[in-house]
């Protein structure tokens, strides 16, 4: 669980640190901005030939796709699994040595424009509306806070093959080269996947949190689609392959997203506040050789109707 926590944090850092560019504001826009309270920021991305090659699998002659591309992403678990770790009396084989998750490529592409906060169309990946407020100290109100409203465009996310391997030597951060990577042979655990998701709105509060949580995610997704997902068994040499995993709101409606995210003394807490049901359809479950996963004979499709998670709470912390 610790490694997946790190993965989520590193992924968000990679996204914000890459080729996303502030959109230029002309004199008229600047004049308008100084005459109103709060700050609006639109974040877009430039044309990226490397992204287009990764997302389509072909080298474009003229790149037109806008988005973000990460060549390789590594998440290092510096202490590994304890040598005494066991399950029902069976030693799990831990060597207490650093290992890493390696994602061979990560791409983000906006598939539809986000909406500005005034309802007009936008080509940005992300639109932010930022305000500060004095708040109240009455009844435990907590006082002042920073409020950030965010609209995220509908996105297509492609994740390359995911493997695990031995971490390389930790880099000397005082030198120019800070790459660490992995050493030796990696074991692939996932073939990679493509994720399509609809627009999402979120509100973040820092300082006091009168909304009840640091982050509120509340939106209606038109759907969620994961395609071309293969799960490898390195020891057995086989693979579970799914042509597609598709989620919709119950009866074909939108997916109700209502999450509260807080950082508490026990760790990161994610609470689902939605009581709506969802329909899940898994297309073509294929079992067999890893090399032919997408063409192995299917055992059929799996359908789940009206899945309700209730007020499920997930807590993530290091150990």
- Given pLDDT bands bounded at 50, 70 and 90, which one contains residue 155? confident
Mean pLDDT of 200-221: 88
pTM value surpassing 0.75: no
- pLDDT for 139 equals 74
Among 78-92, 102-116, 302-316, the range with the most confident prediction by mean pLDDT is 78-92
138-151 tens-digit pLDDT: 877 889 999 999 88
Q: Could you give the CA distance from residue 53 to residue 73 in angstroms, rounded to a whole number?
A: 18
| Token couple for 39 | 């700050």
Give the model's confidence band at 81: pLDDT under 50 very low, under 70 low, under 90 confident, else very high. Answer: very high
Q: How far is CA 171 from CA 14, 128, 181, in A?
A: 18, 36, 10
Residue 44, token pair as written in the block: 């877009």
pLDDT at 119: 59
Contact 114, 152 (CB under 8 A): yes
pLDDT tens readout for residues 260-313: 999 888 899 999 989 899 999 999 999 998 888 888 999 999 999 999 888 888
For 9-43, write each residue's pLDDT tens digit.
444 444 344 434 434 444 344 444 444 578 888 88
Q: Which is more confident, 184 or 293?
A: 184
Summarize the confidence of residues 98-119 as an average pLDDT: 80
CA distances from 193 to 62, 105, 150 (A): 25, 11, 26
| CA-to-CA separations, 141 to 2, 207, 283, in angstroms, rounded | 33, 11, 49
């Amino acid at each position: 669980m610790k490694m997946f926590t790190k993965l989520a944090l590193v992924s968000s850092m990679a996204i914000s640190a890459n080729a996303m560019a502030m959109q230029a504001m002309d004199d008229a826009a600047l004049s308008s901005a100084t005459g109103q309270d709060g700050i609006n920021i639109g974040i877009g991305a430039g044309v990226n030939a490397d992204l287009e090659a990764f997302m389509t699998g072909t080298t474009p002659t003229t790149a037109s796709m806008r988005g973000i591309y990460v060549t390789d992403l590594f998440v290092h678990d510096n202490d590994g699994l304890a040598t005494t770790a066991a399950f029902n009396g069976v030693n799990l084989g831990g060597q207490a040595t650093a290992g890493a998750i390696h994602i061979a490529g990560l791409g983000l592409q906006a598939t539809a424009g986000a909406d500005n906060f005034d309802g007009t169309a936008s080509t940005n990946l992300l639109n932010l509306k930022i305000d500060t407020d004095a708040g109240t100290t009455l009844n435990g109100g907590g006082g002042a806070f920073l409020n950030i409203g965010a609209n995220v465009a509908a996105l297509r996310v492609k994740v390359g093959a995911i493997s695990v391997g031995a971490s390389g030597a930790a880099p000397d951060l005082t030198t120019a080269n800070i790459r660490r990577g992995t050493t030796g042979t990696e074991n692939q655990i996932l073939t990679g996947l493509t994720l399509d998701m609809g627009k999402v709105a979120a509100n973040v509060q820092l300082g006091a949190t009168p909304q009840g949580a640091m982050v509120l995610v509340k939106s209606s997704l038109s759907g969620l689609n994961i395609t071309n997902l293969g799960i490898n068994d390195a020891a057995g040499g086989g693979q579970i392959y799914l042509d597609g995993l598709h989620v919709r709101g119950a009866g074909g409606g939108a997916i109700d997203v209502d999450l509260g995210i807080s950082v508490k003394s026990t760790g990161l807490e994610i609470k689902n506040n939605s009581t709506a049901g969802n329909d899940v359809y898994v297309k073509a479950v294929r079992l067999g050789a890893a090399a032919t996963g997408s063409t192995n004979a299917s055992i059929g499709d799996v359908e789940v109707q009206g899945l309700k998670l209730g007020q499920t709470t997930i807590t993530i912390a290091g150990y």
